[in-house]
Amino acid sequence: MTPRTVAVVGGGITGLAASWYLATADDAPAVTLLEAGDHLGGKLRTEPFAGVPVEAGPDTVLARVPWGLDLLHDLGLDGELVSPATGRAFVWARGRLRPLPDGLVLGVPARVGPLASSGILSATGLARAGLDLVLPRRDTGPDPTIADVIGSRFGPQVLDRLVDPLLSGINAGRGDRLSLAATAPDVAAAATSNRSLLLGLRGRRRQQPPDPAKPVFVSLRGGLGRLVERLTERLTERGVEIRTGARVTDLDDVRRNADAVVLTVPAHAAAALVAPHSPRAAGELAGVAHASVAVVTFAYPSSAVGHPLDGSGFLVPRGEGWLLTAGTFVSSKWPALTPPGQVLLRASAGRAGDDRITRLSDDALATQLHGELARALDIAGEPAAVRVDRWPRSFPQYESGHQARVARIEAALAADLPDVVVAGAAYRGVGIAACVRQGREAANALTGDPAAAQQRRTS
């Protein structure tokens, strides 16, 4: 039976999406959205910098899955989509920036030729990677880590110089802890069904070749903050009550005024809320580790940067010891974001197991990241403008056993708090599209769509 009233706790993209799909259901309940902070959107935040709108958090929506695009379509934003001007990217390897080779799937090579010519691996590393073609299948256990599978097939250089840097950008994680099935299900499927991982990935690409005419990622003119603005407008039009500055500290206060609750707050915050009612769920929620990250945006005079910035950015492997995990060439990736006479660069820092950013002031953080950017990109002089954005405990870690943990969380809530569901980046996918999907599935489960509820339990 569809609840008459639903409270959505957390105004990030998952909570906004859940509110939208609840409010647009056939038998729509009354919806209240509660956000502790003073603005909606979570990490989706677009703010002026050097005279142009620049993202403080994620800057794209994955377009090769439907969920984000479906929401943008529902909101009438199709005509405002923009794609990155370039998909070329680099990695700092063997003392300089080297282009990432074609044919990578989460950093895993599906083609030998481009990998060999990239110069990222040494001759020894390349030979070790080639052993994947002849090594026998290995039993890696019920939920192996990325390192268990990819490291054992391709060797440490592929893991350290390709896979781990990409993971630091996507999950802020490390390959020896993250579950392959939870973070890269396509790679896990190829590893399970084939002796050679390279040949397995190549076969999957042949069966489902990417369409070069369709972008992998999209954004919006003016920034992804416009998605938050449009959602807020449309939710208000549909009668959703939106309260900012409404921190929830007692779940009972919410449940007294709603028939059902969708918790889209981080897992550690959800743990505190459900603890009085479901110690089992709270314990599992508290066990989801999170990494802290920071993003520092720099404006430089165009003449100060020696590198041609002929790509979207670059990655830095953990083993280099840098604070920097990735650099984005904002003005090359998004040419409209080019202030006159300047270029914009964005530096990311922080990952699981490396909390140095938490011990640095904003000034010290910016100074160190400027120095590392200067080394990689041949920058002379100081930046003309700097902005620091911090995201503490913001990247959940899908460690080995994560999918089983999520199943236990949902089973405990179903038994102890059947009127409460959880959704968000801590469970079944990070990124905007994955969070939209989870918000939609949570809404569908509450509004009586049995297929959606079953999909939620098994996905």
Q: Are residues 188 and 271 in the same domain?
A: no
Q: Is residue 215 part of a domain?
A: no
Q: Is 377 in the same domain as 424? A: no
Give 337's Cβ-side CA count (13 Å radius).
Answer: 34
pLDDT score for 453 = 45
Residue 212 lies in a domain: no
Within-domain flag for 348: yes
- CB-based contact 175:145 (threshold 8 Å): yes
The sheet carrying 420-422 orders its strands as 241-243, 30-34, 5-9, 260-263, 420-422
**Same structural domain, 275 and 352:** no
* 274 and 297 together in one domain: no
330-348 pLDDT tens trace? 999 999 999 999 999 999 9
- Asked whether residue 369 is assigned to any structural domain, the reply reads yes
* Residue 55 falls inside a structural domain: no
Residues of the chain with pLDDT under 50: 451-459
At 414 the pLDDT is 96
Q: Which residues of 236-245 are buried (b: 16+ CB within 10 A; e: fewer)?
A: eeeebebeee
The pLDDT score that the predictor gives to residue 71 is 97
Cβ atoms of 372 and 322 within 8 Å: the answer is yes
Positive/negative CA dihedral, 122, 127, 128, 132: positive
What pLDDT is attached to residue 205?
A: 72
* Residues 233 and 315 grouped into a single domain: no
Cα distance between residue 399 and residue 291, in whole Å: 12
Domain residues for 308?
290-396
pLDDT at site 12: 98
CATH number at 390 reads 3.90.660.20
pTM of the model: 0.94
Q: Based on the domain organization, do 404 and 284 belong to the same domain?
A: yes
Instruction: Assess whether 380 and 412 both reside in one domain.
Output: no
**Among 351, 411, 393, 427, residue whose Cα is nearest residue 179:** 427
Q: Does some domain include residue 86?
A: no
Q: What would the pLDDT profile of 62-107 be if each residue is shown by its tens digit?
A: 998 999 999 999 999 999 999 999 989 999 999 999 999 988 887 8
Which of 377, 396, 415 is a domain's end point? 396
pLDDT for 214: 82
Based on the fold, state whether residues 284 and 407 are members of the same structural domain: yes
CB 106, CB 187: distance < 8 Å: yes
Question: Residue 451 phi/psi, 5° resolution?
Answer: -65, -40
CB 31 within 8 A of CB 25: no
The domain tally of the chain equals 3
In this prediction, residue 454 carries a pLDDT of: 46
pLDDT of residue 247: 97
Q: What whole-number distance in Å separates Cα of residue 429 and Cα of residue 183? A: 7
pLDDT at 104: 83
Which of 159, 179, 207 marks a domain boundary?
Answer: 207
**Same domain membership, residue 200 and residue 106:** yes
Same domain, 381 and 337: yes
